[in-house]
A and B are shown apart, each in its own frame.
Chain A
Amino acid sequence: MNKDKIFKLAKGFRGRAKNCIRIARERVEKALQYSYRDRRTKKRDMRSLWIQRINAGTRIHGVNYGNFMHGLMKENIQLNRKVLSELSMHEPYSFKALVDISRTAFPGNKNVVHAPKKEGLSMLV
C-alpha cells in the first residue's frame, strides 16, 4: 500500500502513528490484521450476545435458555438465535407464545427456574 492510503487509514490514530509513515504503516497493518481476525470472532461474539438476550427474555417467564431451546428443538421450530433475540426485545407477546410452546413441549421446563425474587426490594419499598 502506498503512503497516501496508509495515512488515510491512519486517521484518528494516536501519537506518531497518524503522521510518521514508518510507524503509521506498522499500526495500519496491525489494524488490518485485527479486522481480518475480528470479522471471524464477530460471528462468535454475536452468537453469545444473542444467547444472553434470549436467556434474559425467557427467565422473565420462568424458563432458562437451555430448556427453552430444548423445547423448541422438540417442537421442530427452527428460528435461529438472531431472530429469537430480536423477538425477545421487540415482540414480547410473540416471544411469550414461543416460551409457552416450549414449556408444553418439554414438561421438565415447569418450575425449573423461578422468576427472580423481588421480595428484598418490596421489603424496602
Chain B
Amino acid sequence: MNDVEIVMEMRQVESVRKTKEPKRDEEVVETPSSPKREQLFGVVMIGGRQYIVIPGRYIYTQRLKGANVNDKIVLNKVLLVGTKTTTYIGKPVVTNAAVHAVVEEQGLNDKVVVFKYKKKKNYRRNIGHRQPNTRIRITGITGYQDYPAVTLES
C-alpha cells in the first residue's frame, strides 16, 4: 500500500499539467466562456472522491478501468447541483441527476520517487511510481430539475 502514491489535490495536478502541455492550455482558454454563459456546476463522486465539475472543463480522475478513449460515460452519483438561482442539495445524492462526460485520455500522473531509507541498517529503496489516471471532459449535467430545490432569496 505504501508504494501507491496518491496525489491529493486535483487542482494541483491540473496546474502542473497545464504548464507542461501548452497545446492543451489553448483548449482550456476557449472553454471558460461556456460555463460563464450557463453558470452551472455539480459535485460528483468518482472513485471515492468528490469533484466540482463544470460543463466544458476537464478533470483528472483515478483510472477508470474498462473505459476507452472517446467513450461517453454517465456519472450518476451527483451530490449537489448549483445553477445561477437554485441549489439542489442531495441527501445524499440528487436522484435522477447525471453528469455526462467523455473520456479523453488514459494517462499517468507525474512520477513520484518513493525513497525509503533506514539509518545504520544499510537499507534503501528507490522506486518510481506513476499512478494511472483518466482525463474526462464534462459535457453536461442533466436530470436534476425535478428534485426539490433550495431557492435563494437574494
A residues near B, CB below 8 A?
1, 29, 32-33, 35-36, 39, 42-43, 46, 75-80, 82-83, 86-87, 91, 93-94, 96-98, 100-101
Q: Beyond A36-B116, A77-B79: 12 further Cβ-contacts under 8 Å? A: A29-B117, A32-B113, A32-B117, A35-B113, A39-B112, A42-B8, A76-B91, A79-B80, A82-B50, A83-B50, A93-B152, A100-B150
User: CA–CA, A42 to B9, complex, Å?
Assistant: 10
Given known A42-B8, A91-B41, contact A97–B92 (CB-CB < 8 A): no
Minimal beta-carbon separation of A38 from chain B (angstroms): 11
User: CA–CA, A75 to B79, complex, Å?
Assistant: 13
Binary CB contact string for chain B from 35 to 78 against chain A (1 if under 8 A, 0 otherwise): 00000010100000011100000000000000000000000000
Question: How many A-B residue pairs lie within 8 Å, measured between CB atoms?
Answer: 64
Task: Flag whether B133 is at the interface (Cβ < 8 A).
Answer: no
Minimal beta-carbon separation of B96 from chain A (angstroms): 18
Given known A76-B92, A80-B50, contact A91–B82 (CB-CB < 8 A): yes
Name the one of B41, B52, B87, B126 contacting A1, with C-beta atoms under 8 angstroms.
B126
List the B residue with the shortest CB-CB distance to A34.
B115
List the B residue with the shortest CB-CB distance to A100.
B150
Main SS at interface, chain A: helix
Which residues of chain B come closer than 8 Å to A101, judged between CB atoms? 89, 150
User: CA–CA, A98 to B82, complex, Å?
Assistant: 12
Minimal beta-carbon separation of B147 from chain A (angstroms): 13
Which residues of chain A come closer than 8 Å to B50, judged between CB atoms? 79-80, 82-83
**Does the CB pair B8–A46 fall under 8 Å?**
yes
Task: Flag whether B15 is at the interface (Cβ < 8 A).
Answer: no
Task: Flag whether B140 is at the interface (Cβ < 8 A).
Answer: no
User: CA–CA, A29 to B118, complex, Å?
Assistant: 11
Binary CB contact string for chain B from 92 to 135 against chain A (1 if under 8 A, 0 otherwise): 10000000000000000000111111000000101000000000
Which residues of chain B come closer than 8 Å to A82, judged between CB atoms? 50
